[in-house]
Structure 1
Amino acid sequence: MNILFAVCGEGLGHASRSTKLAAYLAQHGHTCTFASYGKAYDFIQKQGFPVHEISREVTLGGDDGLFSLAKTLWLSKTVPVSLLHSYRDARRLLKDQHTDLLVADTMYAAGYAAKSLGIRNAFITNQNTFAAAASPDAAYWNYLSRIVQKYLQKVPDIVIVPDFPPPDTISGHNFLIPETEISHYRFVGPILDRDPAAIPCSRETIFASFGGEPFKLPLYTMLREIADELPDHTFEVFSTTPGLPENTGNFQTFGYVPDLQPYLAKSRVAILHGGLTSLMEALSLGKPVVMIIDPYHPEQWNNAKKIEEMGAGIMVLGNTVTKEKLDDAISRALTMTPPDLRQLFTAPDSRETIRGILESLHTS
């Protein structure tokens, strides 16, 4: 098959899991091409895949390290036009690439483009309902949830969820699926490119990667201050955002790294932002997590709630976090023993499951 991946460029979680899947599909004879934008475009290119730039659908904005809905709406005020541009770009690529199948990872216009051309399409997501810690019942989240649920019902031929089936779904609080639509969703498990049991693990560092958006910089500065007061701990920080604090003897920053797993595997604690992809990788290696969640972000809170319920990590609200609170969370996480999830991660390889889904979709 000739497969086009249309990948959301907001954050790197979408690009990370999609490139892992594409590499596996390529090993089985399929041709995979990408369309994306922003930092995800650069990441995919560095992973060695052909990638075309596509118009972004929304632009995320923030203040003082936190997501801002008002700023996002202002920056994305031309969303209808942006969606039309994204639709136009995707439709052109689908035709030019003689695409047999579209896989859209949280890119919506591409699904419409594929449908208009009679091309089968699958949609990868870990969310169909929205809420934030600061405004869980806000009318705008309910409105957005209804729009996305209707889209997922009508546009993609199948919805692929890179998470464990219920009741073990890490992103379970981010889903509301009517009984009549359950068969339309396939919970396949996390998209990993190696067996976690085969990865050597140690307990040497404190790993930190909680987003590359420029408005996250104050949080990295706070972490550097904590590192200065904990000389016996080594902090390894991963972000491609310019302006990170300068390195010290025990605080090392890294830009683009093609594979984060070896660094994560040697950590004692992982400091993350509550995105599903990085949480899954930490859980697969048995690492306790500190989640600096954005109380205005419509996903992180629900993921973090599930992790806390499991006893696998500690949530810190980004709008009230202080150096003292973060320091305390790290200290508590250093003493945690996460639950043994090996039975979940030894389930059938999700990449093989998805390959079967896509091949069946193409021939049906």
Structure 2
Amino acid sequence: MKIMLFVCGEGLGHTSRCISLAQQMKASGHEVLMGAYGYSKDLIETKGLRTAEMVPEIQLVGDSGSLDIKSSVIATIKSGQFLRIGKVHRMLKDFDPDIVVSDSYYTGIFSAWMRKKPVYLMVNQSNMEEFFMGKSFFMRSLGKITKRFYTMVFRKVDGIIVPDFPMPDTICKYNLDLEKRVLDSVFYSGPLVGKKYREVREAELKRPHVLSTIGGFGYREPLFHKVIETARLDRNINYTLLSGPSIDSDKFTSLPENVTIMKFIEDQFPYLKSSDLVIAPGGHSMMMEALSFGVPILSFPDMGHSEQENNATSLEEEGCGKRLDYSISPKKLLDHIHQLIENDAYKEKAQYLRSLSHALNGPEAITEMIESKYLNQGSQKKS
């Protein structure tokens, strides 16, 4: 079977989960072509996966820890990228897949419909109009148009894949607003994680250990420094901080001995397995990876980013982490770190979700579901 897998490149969470899915599809004997762009495309290619270059659908703009929706819309229109969708259609025509899977990349969905191909939408958010609430009349109107758009998409696709734990443990549940008429087409696959817990060898790290994926660039830089100040308050807790490729880690000349800064980790799963706690933004895929490895999370969602804020709220309600904000003091942050490391209830809930992730096996579950749908469609055509 030939499978086209489109990837939304806004945030590497989409990329990491699509890599996991593509690897499983290849292992199951299918021919897979991934459509991606930017750094997302580069990362996919390092995994040895066949990739075609797509065009971005949206450009995100933010400042001081918040997402600026109006500026993002204006930047997207000015870029003119949406005028190049013909490139996507031509690529789909040349590859001629049997089935299309699109991770929040809607241009790929419309191209699949034009080619009369079965198409499945992978999504962890279906209430995008929240981004436009409380804004100007123009922005609220744009939000209503957006809702009508994706409601139509949800009705017409062949299936909707939610790469999360099934209800009631779904972390992205507050980001889902699905009509009753489409619920039968929704498939909760479980997390899409690149490696299985039992296959990963722990990194040699001093415990207790905190892994922070808060980058040190742009509006997250103040929080990055705040984590370092927190580490100074208790030298018995060890930290690995990911700064991102744009930060020169050599400039940090007076780090406490319990802090290590790294630009990038090629394989972060050994670090996850050796950590007692993760400090992260509110991105869905990072949460799925940490919880699939049984690690509680302190989440700092970007302000004004309703999807991340909802994820963090659900995380706290589920008892596997806490939602915090950028204004927190180092002393208060240390209190939360102690609580999540020392309170068995958080660890037990995270360990339960690790077991559930293993049982669900998201990449394999999606592959088997698509195979079954494809075979059923073939049988129906013959009859």
Query: Match for residue 192 of structure 1?
Result: 193
Cα offsets for 1:222-249 (capped at 9, x unmatched): 2233334443332212253402554544
1:147 aligns with 2:146: no
1:168 counterpart SS class: coil
User: 1:136-175 counterparts in 2 under 5 A?
Assistant: 139=140, 144-154=146-156, 156-175=157-176
Query: Match for residue 20 of structure 1?
Result: 20
Query: Match for residue 229 of structure 2?
Result: 225
Give the Cα–Cα distance (whole angstroms) in 1 for the partners of residues 343 and 132 of structure 2. 27
Give the Cα–Cα distance (whole angstroms) in 1 for the partners of residues 367 and 191 of structure 2. 14
CA distance 1:83–1:152, shift in 2 (3 Å) = farther
Question: How many residues align structurally?
Answer: 360
CA distance 1:176–1:228, shift in 2 (3 Å) = same
Contact 1:131 1:298 in 2 (8 A): no
Give the Cα–Cα distance (whole angstroms) in 2 for the partners of residues 210 and 10 of structure 1. 17
Query: Match for residue 351 of structure 1?
Result: 363
Give the Cα–Cα distance (whole angstroms) in 2 for the partners of residues 132 and 210 of structure 1. 24
TM-score between the two structures when normalised by the length of structure 1: 0.88
Contact 2:291 2:354 in 1 (8 A): no
1:294 counterpart SS class: coil
* Residue 294 of structure 1, aligned match among 290, 294, 302: 302
Between Structure 1 and Structure 2, whose CA radius of gyration is higher? Answer: 2
1:52 aligns with 2:59: no
Give the Cα–Cα distance (whole angstroms) in 1 for the partners of residues 259 and 129 of structure 2. 35
CA distance 1:216–1:47, shift in 2 (3 Å) = farther
1:269 aligns with 2:277: yes
Structure 2 alignment gaps of length 5 or more: 378-383
Q: Which has the higher helix share?
A: 2
Contact 1:135 1:296 in 2 (8 A): no
TM-score between the two structures when normalised by the length of structure 2: 0.84
CA distance 1:284–1:253, shift in 2 (3 Å) = same
1:59 counterpart SS class: coil
CA distance 1:158–1:220, shift in 2 (3 Å) = same
User: 1:245-324 counterparts in 2 under 5 A?
Assistant: 245=249, 246-247=251-252, 248=255, 249-318=257-326, 320-324=327-331
Contact 2:123 2:160 in 1 (8 A): yes
Contact 2:197 2:273 in 1 (8 A): no
- Aligned-residue Cα RMSD (Å) equals 2.7
Query: Match for residue 104 of structure 1?
Result: 102
Give the Cα–Cα distance (whole angstroms) in 1 for the partners of residues 131 and 57 of structure 2. 24
Query: Match for residue 63 of structure 1?
Result: 63
Give the Cα–Cα distance (whole angstroms) in 2 for the partners of residues 78 and 334 of structure 1. 47
Give the Cα–Cα distance (whole angstroms) in 2 for the partners of residues 22 and 134 of structure 1. 33
CA distance 1:44–1:211, shift in 2 (3 Å) = farther
CA distance 1:157–1:294, shift in 2 (3 Å) = same
2:235 counterpart SS class: coil
